[in-house]
Amino acid sequence: MLYIDLNLQDYAVGTPLDEFEKKIRNLNPRTQQLYRRCLNEFCQKIETTPNKLYQYAYEWETSNERGVRGRLSLIVSDFIREKIEAGLNPNTARSYKKAINKFLSANELRPLKLDNQKKIDSKRKPMATPKHIRELFDLSSTNVRIRALLMTMKDTGLRVSDIEHLTVEDFRNSALTHDEFGREFRVWAEPVTSRKTGVNAYVHLGYEAIPWIEAYVGNRREGSIFLTKSGMKPMKSHSMTTAIKNLCKPLNSRGIKISAHSLRIFFLTTFDTNRASNTGKRIAGKRLPPTDDPYYATGENLTRDYIQVYNAERGLSIFESGQFAKTQEEIQKLRDSLEIERARFIAQQKQIEELQEWKNNIITPLTDVLNERISQVPYPGTDEDREELVSKLRSFLSWDNQASDLIQNILAYIEIGNVKEFQEYLDKRYKNK
């Protein structure tokens, strides 16, 4: 037999390789091809041939030396592990051990023990754990917007395409409810229709997301909850995905491959492990089978189950009580800081308005007077009035450079206090102009 496509040698009838061919001849042609390739790759890796592999395996199996019998198993396990680390699907990697076992059993040797593991779904997205989310929460400490987005994803289980359309009005109009400890939960007044499936999502928020949304939204009364950095446009779903992707980079660098969708999986898995799978699907806008119990359509039961799962061990709540208190303290400091900045801004605006009003009421009339040079008496007013005006003029001089020439003349007039001398001052000042 020739195995040109597999780079195997032609072995005489009765050799270990020939027995292997007899063993697999009744299998599917594609499976036969797979087993031949796997056996060939393994032999090339350990720099041997199937004939010599049989000899090694026979000697190791019949040896009385301690640790020798399991040598082949260790070699095969190391080989498969290297394949998986190189990126090979674990299910495909198991084919190597199956092929080697066919070879061993065909030659009346003991097969290797197969891993007693369930098949791995290679397409399944990785799930974020509470530990991962806590780390992402800490990484977002300098960005209230991203932290609010992270906690919203964690608490609602919604797709980013649906979070994109959550509005401030929805949040403001949501129904408030509390658990037995007085902690706040919110329920959207109307369900949100999923953009992907058309299924209604009965949006709920827990006490870990609510304060961050409040801190981020501030005094806004309408529009999308999440906006771009500039605060001028709604934040799109692809931008949300990118924002979480960037936040996850420190975890990804350590081999923890999670994304925005991992937070949705965390949400659904939490309800599944707490025997409330359909409740989680209903809240997150995931399609249910047609035979679903009508029980899950009632709002009160959804909210009751949501709160129960949220507070359950390994539930949606990712903080210990002490951590939660620390978080609340951080939020309060942030609110206080925002109020201080707001008050400072209002004061600055008021100061600008006063300066503008003063300019209109004082500077404009004085401009007319100076331009026409109509002033026959010294500055009319007390010394106190005069000092106050001089002070205002000097402060205005630094505020508006365009009026500097005019104000210098006004100050000179006030200080000279005599029309004739002031006229001489003007003539001297503009002599070279």
Q: Is residue 93 part of a domain?
A: yes
> What phi and psi, each to the nearest 5 degrees, are found at residue 331?
-65, -40
**Token pair 């500055």: residue:** 379
Q: Is residue 42 part of a domain?
A: yes
Residues 142 and 276 in one domain: yes
Residues 16 and 151 in one domain: no
Residues 301 and 419 in one domain: no
Model confidence over 266-293: pLDDT tens digits? 898 888 877 788 888 999 998 876 655 4
Average pLDDT rounded to a whole number, residues 68-82 = 81
Q: Which pLDDT does position 323 carry in this prediction?
A: 53
Model confidence over 147-170: pLDDT tens digits? 999 999 999 999 999 999 999 999
Structure tokens at 414: 């006030």
CA-CA distance, 416 to 399, in Å (whole number)?
Answer: 24
- Domain CATH code at residue 157: 1.10.443.10
Q: Which of 151, 192, 431 is nearest to 310 (CA)?
A: 151
Q: Which pLDDT does position 93 carry in this prediction?
A: 83
305 SS3 class: helix
Q: Which pLDDT does position 426 carry in this prediction?
A: 60
Does the pLDDT of residue 12 top 80, yes or no? no
Residues 22 and 102 in one domain: yes
Average pLDDT rounded to a whole number, residues 124-139 = 82
Other beta carbons less than 10 A from residue 411's beta carbon: 15
Structure tokens at 337: 């800081």
Model confidence over 22-59: pLDDT tens digits? 999 989 888 999 999 999 999 998 888 898 899 888 88
The half-sphere exposure of 349 on its side-chain side, counting CA atoms within 13 A, is 6
Residues 254 and 307 in one domain: yes
Overall number of domains in the chain: 3
114, burial (CB in 10 Å: exposed 0-12, middle 13-18, buried 19+): exposed
Other beta carbons less than 10 A from residue 428's beta carbon: 9
Model confidence over 343-372: pLDDT tens digits? 888 888 887 777 777 666 665 565 555 544
Q: Is residue 125 part of a domain?
A: no
- Higher-confidence residue of 428 and 312: namely 312
Residues 153 and 282 in one domain: yes
Q: Is residue 260 part of a domain?
A: yes
Total number of residues shown for the chain: 433
Q: Is residue 334 part of a domain?
A: no
Q: Which pLDDT band, with edges at 50, 70 and 90, does 122 fall under?
A: very low
Residue 151 and residue 339 in contact, taking contact as beta carbons nearer than 8 Å: no
Q: Is residue 50 part of a domain?
A: yes
Last residue of a domain, one of 268, 303, 319: 319
Average pLDDT rounded to a whole number, residues 189-214 = 92
Q: Is residue 299 part of a domain?
A: yes
CA-CA distance, 307 to 301, in Å (whole number)?
Answer: 10
Residues 102 and 158 in one domain: no
Q: pLDDT averaged over the chain? A: 78
Residues 162 and 90 in one domain: no
Q: Which pLDDT band, with edges at 50, 70 and 90, does 243 fall under?
A: very high
Q: Is residue 410 part of a domain?
A: yes
* DSSP notation for 321-367: HHHHHHHHHHHHHHHHHHHHHHHHHHHHHHHHHHHHHHIIIIIHHHH
Q: Which pLDDT does position 129 carry in this prediction?
A: 84
Average pLDDT rounded to a whole number, residues 97-110 = 91
Does the pLDDT of residue 208 top 70, yes or no? yes
Does the pLDDT of residue 382 top 60, yes or no? no
Q: Which pLDDT does position 3 carry in this prediction?
A: 37
Last residue of a domain, one of 303, 319, 335: 319
Residues 206 and 287 in one domain: yes
Residues 146 and 273 in one domain: yes
Average pLDDT rounded to a whole number, residues 89-117 = 84
CA-CA distance, 200 to 215, in Å (whole number)?
Answer: 28
- Higher-confidence residue of 256 and 174: namely 174
Q: Which pLDDT does position 46 carry in this prediction?
A: 83
CA-CA distance, 258 to 20, in Å (whole number)?
Answer: 43
Q: Which pLDDT does position 295 carry in this prediction?
A: 47
Alpha-carbon separation of residue 288 from 67, 201, 281, 417 (angstroms)? 54, 11, 7, 90
Residues 92 and 139 in one domain: no
Residues 211 and 290 in one domain: yes
The identity of residue 266, as a single letter, is F
Q: Which domain holds residue 205?
A: 130-319
